[in-house]
């Protein structure tokens, strides 16, 4: 029997984000006898920790919950974490000697673009290096990647991208065929059977603000409800969604908003909800380990994001045959088949407003999308996605 390939995977934490969920789904579906995997986290934290298979060796630099505030009492711990991680970034030999115990890896894998430099600066020069790009890095107002910075990614042996748009961005900057051959598009592993199964569950565990009657999840009235699921930070545009919600209410369009997720911007969004006076019609559910019954029961799924790489949550909404409204961000046209499977709106508050207003004033206009979704088959499946990544690892 061939020796197991030694693989190091790096990611910040396993909080409730798309890239984190996709990574854990991938690990759960790997054969248990082919690889020896070390998963190194900057912070041992996150909702997906419990889902990491027991045979994966989890290592970390710091432990504890993510510190998202600047409270005086939190500053020493926050400063220590930053400094501790920075030392290992500047002197990677120390990390590999003391945390990774001098192990020689065959594959080193950056599970998000933010781990680029950590993997490229590895003292293990013999390893093959892979990076997984989940975001549209050309959105410079968010990521600030110059062409020079962008080109550093070609230091990897393979660049895995999750959408056609991201693939085109990399191919545009590739200087030769060898660099182009490093770029490979692989759809995110998504377990559609699990989504359908979980959507049938009635009661779900939730963490966060629950401002529904009697604090009962079953008490949520989904009539004319728009649901949005994601990590609560500015990228997701929940502030825009709430402002549009308020505008439409003021114009007499009765409906409800349900936002499912947690993140460092949660308190700001909660505050905005209060300032807008929409506490009776907008619910911040916080994080739940199963958002699918909510998606299933709501009338519309809305993606209000300012930018994305390939919003996996849309595939989840498609799996549940939901009427979809989505801002025109990276991946959306590809996922919604250029508007065949859902309404694509301008990436702005006005765009979100027009889409939601159309849904409320003319719900029959969404029947065309329901018709196309009825018999739609996903262009990929979980097994194919996992096998594609396995092939990359095995061939390097």
Say if residues 284 and 269 touch (Cβ distance below 8 Å).
yes
- Given 1.20.120.140, 3.40.50.2000, 3.40.50.1000, 3.40.50.300, which CATH number is that of 192-374? 3.40.50.2000
Q: Rounded to whole angstroms, how far apart are CA atoms 331 and 188?
A: 12
pLDDT in tens, the chain (396 residues): 678 999 999 999 998 777 898 999 999 999 999 999 999 999 998 888 999 999 999 999 998 776 666 677 767 887 888 899 999 999 999 999 999 999 999 999 999 999 999 999 999 999 999 999 988 887 645 566 788 888 999 999 999 998 888 899 899 999 999 999 999 999 888 888 889 999 998 654 444 444 443 333 444 555 689 999 998 989 999 999 999 999 999 999 999 999 999 888 999 999 999 999 999 999 999 888 899 999 999 999 999 999 887 888 999 999 999 999 999 998 899 899 999 999 999 999 999 999 999 999 999 999 999 999 998 887 777 888 999 999 999 999
Run of H or E including 76? helix 75-90
DSSP string, 238-260: HHHHHHHHHHHHHTT---EEEEE
Taking only the tens place, the pLDDT of each residue in 368-377 is 999 999 988 8
Q: Rounded to whole angstroms, how far apart are CA atoms 342 and 322?
A: 9
Range 168-180 burial, b when 16+ CB lie within 10 A, else e: ebbeebbeeeebe
What pLDDT, on the 0 to 100 scale, is given for residue 67? 65
What pLDDT, on the 0 to 100 scale, is given for residue 93? 96
Q: Residue 225: beta bridge partners?
A: 256
Q: Rounded to whole angstroms, how far apart are CA atoms 56 and 39?
A: 7
What pLDDT, on the 0 to 100 scale, is given for residue 139? 64
Q: What's CA 292's distance to the chain center, in Å?
A: 16
- Given 3.40.50.1970, 3.40.50.10800, 3.40.50.150, 3.40.50.2000, which CATH number is that of 5-190+381-395? 3.40.50.2000
Do the first three CATH levels of 5-190+381-395 and 192-374 match, i.e. the same topology?
Answer: yes
Q: Rounded to whole angstroms, how far apart are CA atoms 351 and 358?
A: 11
Domain ranges for the chain: 5-190+381-395, 192-374
| C-alpha distance from residue 91 to each of 85, 97, 113 (Å) | 10, 10, 20
What pLDDT, on the 0 to 100 scale, is given for residue 240? 98
What pLDDT, on the 0 to 100 scale, is given for residue 218? 43
330: nearest Cα among 181, 169, 144: 169
What pLDDT, on the 0 to 100 scale, is given for residue 288? 86
SS3 call for 110: strand
- Which DSSP symbol is given to 102? T
């Amino acid at each position: 029997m061939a020796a197991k390939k030694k693989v190091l995977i790096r990611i910040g934490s396993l909080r409730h984000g798309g890239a984190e969920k996709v990574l854990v789904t991938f690990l759960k579906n790997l054969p248990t006898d082919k690889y020896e995997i070390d998963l190194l986290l900057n912070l041992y934290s996150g909702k997906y920790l419990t889902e990491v298979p027991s045979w994966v060796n989890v290592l970390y630099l710091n432990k504890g919950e993510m510190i998202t505030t600047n409270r005086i009492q939190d500053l020493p711990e926050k400063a220590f974490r930053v400094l501790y991680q920075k030392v290992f970034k500047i002197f990677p030999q120390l990390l590999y000697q003391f945390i990774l115990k001098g192990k020689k890896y065959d594959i080193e894998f950056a599970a998000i673009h933010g781990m680029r430099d950590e993997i490229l600066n590895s003292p293990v020069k013999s390893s093959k290096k892979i990076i997984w790009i989940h975001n549209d890095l050309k959105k410079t107002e968010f990521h600030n990647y110059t062409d020079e910075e962008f080109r550093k990614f070609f230091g990897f042996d393979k660049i895995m991208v999750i959408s056609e748009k991201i693939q085109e961005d990399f191919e545009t900057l590739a200087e030769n065929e060898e660099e182009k051959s490093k770029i490979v598009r692989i759809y995110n592993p998504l377990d559609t059977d699990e989504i359908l199964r979980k959507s049938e569950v009635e009661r779900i565990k939730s963490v966060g603000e629950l401002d529904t009657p009697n604090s009962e999840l079953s008490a949520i009235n989904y009539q004319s409800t728009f649901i949005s699921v994601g990590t609560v930070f500015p990228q997701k545009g929940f502030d825009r969604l709430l402002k549009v919600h308020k505008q439409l209410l003021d114009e007499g369009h009765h409906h409800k908003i349900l936002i499912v997720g947690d993140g460092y911007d949660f308190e700001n969004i909660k505050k905005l909800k209060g300032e807008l006076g929409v506490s009776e019609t907008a619910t911040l559910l916080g994080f739940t380990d199963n958002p699918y019954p909510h998606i299933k029961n709501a009338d519309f799924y809305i993606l209000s994001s300012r930018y994305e790489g390939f919003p996996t949550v849309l595939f989840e909404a498609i799996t549940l045959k939901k009427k979809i409204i989505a801002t025109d961000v990276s991946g959306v046209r590809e996922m919604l088949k250029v508007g065949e499977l859902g309404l694509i709106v301008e990436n702005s508050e006005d765009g979100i407003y027009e889409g939601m207003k159309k849904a409320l004033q003319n719900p029959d206009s969404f029947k065309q999308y329901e018709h196309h979704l009825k018999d739609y088959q996903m262009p990929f499946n979980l097994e194919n996605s996992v096998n594609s990544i396995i092939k990359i690892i095995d061939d390097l």
